[in-house]
Amino acid sequence: MRAALFLSAAFLPFAAAPAEVPDDPWHAKGREIYETAIEMPTVAGRGETARLVEYLSRQFRDAGITDIRSFDHDGEQSMVIHWPAAILSGEKGIVLLAHMDVVEAHREDWSRDPFELIEEEGYFYGRGTADDKQGVVALTTALLRLAEDGFEPTRDIYVLFTGDEETAQLAAERAAGEWIDLAEIEMALNADAGGGAYLADGSLFGFGIQTAEKIYQSFTFTATNPGGHSSRPRPDNAIYDLVHALDRLEDHRFEPMLNDTTRAYFRARTQSAEPALRAAIERWLADESDGEAADIVEASETEVGMTRTRCVATMLEGGHAENALPQMARATVNCRIFPGVDPASVFATLQQIAEPNGVTVEPIEEARPTEASPLRDDVMNAFTTAVRARHPGAAIVPDMSTGATDGLYFRAAGIPTYGVNGAWYRIPADERAHGRDERLPVESFYDNIDHWTDLIRDLAG
């Protein structure tokens, strides 16, 4: 997950207890797979994803699911598992998504070894416990259990485990374009999005179902200048020109907007937001042109990025010697574009912002525009049933990710894609993906195995 998802974490208070092998044999099997996966440091460039692919392939083959393809690509490895329909229903297939790779973690930065699964005081600690090896393991264990139980799919099930979601995401791009025939696919279900959140007082905030993601695109802002000796400053300066353009970028506010997903999300937020935020949300929902209300919502720590397109400077370079005037200064600007907004219009706005100081703007990569996926009754009902089997009465809230997951490539290709993970966390204490001492509540891990078992049985049986 290239950015944390607000509703993809959840939490309950726990008493300290020694690690125990769970009574449920499938929970025990899941823990065994989890431990093996966590202890493989599948960080970009280490070559460990191939080992995890080999291990997971054995698990599926031993269960009788033998149509498995591995793909060497860009220094990493990814895999596609195919469980063909046993009963021909005429329904197209589904794709189940999760990623095996994790961001780097150094032992000296952690209070524990990041590549050892440690169970302590009701939590599993380790890099990838939350993002996203819990998703890989929950999907794997659920499918192994269903196979053992004699489950007969009524549609083809494809599983895509990628090895580069945290970096280039080329596996998801290729899977959606080459490895899986999307003409045979009805929808994709993503284990790297969605999930539940409990507040610090133990009250349930709700479970999010991710139906939209912002469009990811980065740009360069470049200022150039003839330069010269630093003892004789020019009236123009590449660094100052760049800084002035970035000042205007900082001050710029893109137009606020709503779609079906965020409208449903903010309606649900009115039930839990503190009074000032709730009042601003209600104002904005009543009048979508009320930019002042949207600005108040956007300024809230919990709602950053939810109301509009946002672009922010993330990297700087410039100059070539301390005693020379700079001939070039460049910034990288990363944009998260609201679904439905034409990336070309964002590019044009950035050019207008930069032009007064002669700063040029260029896109770094091609944007992949996506619309929000429709709120399908079958998916909503299956997700609601699976969640409430373990969390009675939980609110189910459509969610837009401000970050990016592998699901965006399937959504961009026209496949409705849903983040329907069942893991939960306590916020903000457990929001540690990509950070120090990443962790997942033990009970949440086992709940997620059961959640995916129910969800797959409902949607593919």
For residue 11, what pLDDT band results from cuts at 50, 70 and 90?
very low
Residue 439 binned pLDDT confidence (cut-offs 50, 70, 90): very high
pLDDT in tens, 351-409: 999 999 999 999 998 898 888 999 999 999 999 999 999 999 999 999 999 988 999 99
Check whether 173 has a pLDDT greater than 80.
yes
- Is 25-213+371-460's fold the same as 215-254+309-370's? no
Q: Residue 19: which pLDDT band, with cuts at 50, 70 and 90?
A: low
CATH top class, domain 215-254+309-370:
alpha beta
Given a cut of 90, is residue 5 above it in pLDDT?
no
Count of positions (residues) in the chain: 461
**Average pLDDT of the residues of the chain:** 94
Pick the residue with more confidence: 371 or 459?
459
Query: With b meaning 16 or more CB within 10 Å and e meaning fewer, what string describes 359-368?
Result: bebebeeebb
Share of the chain above pLDDT 70, in %: 96
Q: Where are the domains of the chain?
A: 25-213+371-460, 215-254+309-370, 258-303
Instruction: Take residue 299 and report the two structure tokens written for it.
Output: 């300024």
CA distance 24 to 447: 12
Does residue 175 surpass a pLDDT of 60?
Answer: yes
Q: According to the CATH classification, is domain 25-213+371-460 in 3.40.630.10?
A: yes
- Can you give the pLDDT at residue 200? 84
pLDDT digits (tens, 9 = 90+) for 318-335: 999 999 999 999 999 999
Show the 3-state SS of the chain: CCCCCCCCCCCCCCCCCCCCCCCCHHHHHHHHHHHHHHCCCCECCCCCHHHHHHHHHHHHHHCCCCEEEEEEECCEEEEEEEECCCCCCCCCEEEEEEECCECCCCHHHCCCCCCCCEEECCEEECCCCCCCHHHHHHHHHHHHHHHHCCCCCCCCEEEEEECCCCCCCHHHHHHHHHHCCHHHEEEEEECCCCEEEECCCCCEEEEEEEEEECEEEEEEEEEECCCEECCCCCCCCHHHHHHHHHHHHHHCCCCCCCCHHHHHHHHHHCCCCCHHHHHHHHHHHHCCCCHHHHHHHHHCCCCCCCCCCEEEEEEEEECCCCCEECCEEEEEEEEEECCCCCHHHHHHHHHHHHHHHCCEEEECCCCCCCCCCCCCHHHHHHHHHHHHCCCCCCCEEEEEECCCCCHHHHHHCCCCEEECCCCEEECCCCCCCCCCCCEEEHHHHHHHHHHHHHHHHHHHC
> Is residue 9 pLDDT above 50, yes or no?
no
Q: How far apart are the first and last CA of the chain?
A: 29
Question: Is 18 a residue whose pLDDT tops 70?
Answer: no
Q: Which two tokens stand for residue 379?
A: 């998916």
Out of 15-24, 144-153, 424-433, pick the least confident.
15-24
Question: Contact 426/199 with Cβ under 8 angstroms?
Answer: yes
Q: How confident is the model at residue 2 (pLDDT cuts 50, 70, 90)?
A: very low
Q: Between these two residues, 216 and 18, which has the higher pLDDT value?
A: 216
Both structure tokens of 427 = 């916020």
Q: Give percent above pLDDT 90 in the chain.
A: 89
pLDDT in tens, 22-51: 899 999 999 999 999 999 999 999 999 999
pLDDT in tens, 114-144: 999 999 999 999 999 999 999 999 999 999 9
Q: Please state, as a whole number, how many other Cβ atoms lie within 10 Å of the Cβ of residue 91.
A: 14
Q: State the pLDDT at residue 259.
A: 92
Cβ atoms of 1 and 433 closer than 8 Å: yes
List, for residues 236-277, the tens digit of each pLDDT value.
Answer: 999 999 999 999 999 999 999 999 999 999 999 998 899 999
